Structure 1
């Protein structure tokens, strides 16, 4: 082997040793981190949590984890400062492609587990939504049944009240109500007669007053007359009911 070949072999050997030292962290360099290192944050183990708690109880505050030999002092301090949650996470160094691949595999498994949990929650939510719709429909049915039962109960209570008061004399309020009905009927009859006499007796001689067309006026008056007649018919029906109730009580 000539000198140049031995020189190349020595350079190759030196490069391999430097790579090995950088990979294993035996070069003791604190200025630059190994290119084979990736810093990640892991959840603290129970032992690490106990160690952190003991350190805080002793008055030392948050304890800095020991620096791996593959990481420079500057990069390690920077990782400690950027810790998103020092109470729960701790920086950790992954050395080599295998460790990084294992970390990526673990993250993928974790992502798959979270996706399954999300799908399960979605399925549960859809099932709960269907149940809520069913309960709402059942509640509406119960409200309708309640309204029907309430109407039937009111009708029964009315019949029971009429039967209970059948042979009893009219109360004071009932007599006053009947008197008011009679008075209202008389007032309605007077108003009806007045309206009937308006088309024949009304005459306006002033030339400065503009009056509606006779057909329009007759239409309005007829409309009011019909409303009063309808109200009179209703009042007469109420009077008949009062008289019938009174006659039943007397009998």
Structure 2
């Protein structure tokens, strides 16, 4: 797994994703995660700058994180309470954290940062290794937006401005995509690309079965609306048998 979240990205990550740090985005997620963690410990794959880990810890849930990016973790450490959260630096598909957990979770499409099916399967197996019997693994991820692609088109723009553009590029044969950002500032252009592997809900369920877990819930949001035909994302909960 390559680290695409180095110092340059980490420096502006919170500001660039400001809507995801708003209370209406954070609070419902933390409510559900705290409920699933119960009186146990939580493990966040891709803890980043602590968007969910910090408020979850303030609820009294001990949180440990795994993240490949030292730059992102440094931003977590600089926040109030961040130095109290232990983090293992490594690939969350394979890295081991100490102890056992009642909850492991992976949010905000981060499962797609693992760009091969094998790595995504390893992620489920790694979650199962860390979970106590009866523990849960939670993933929040978007539904692939392939219906937006007309025949012959591989690019879907999602941001268009006077000095910045952003678009997703799909390769349906490889089940891969990339999010691409073009910015022009002071007459100079900058291009960034982030590769992903998109994944279907049924495929995730099969990965969970390979890891010995079973689907317990699938909602379209953290507030538990039903997952339906037009849902743009899902929050899924798999359980390790007790």
- Scaled by the length of structure 2, the TM-score of the pair is 0.17
Instruction: Identify, as 1 or 2, the structure richer in helix.
Output: 1
Which entry has the higher C-alpha Rg, 1 or 2?
A: 1
- Scaled by the length of structure 1, the TM-score of the pair is 0.16
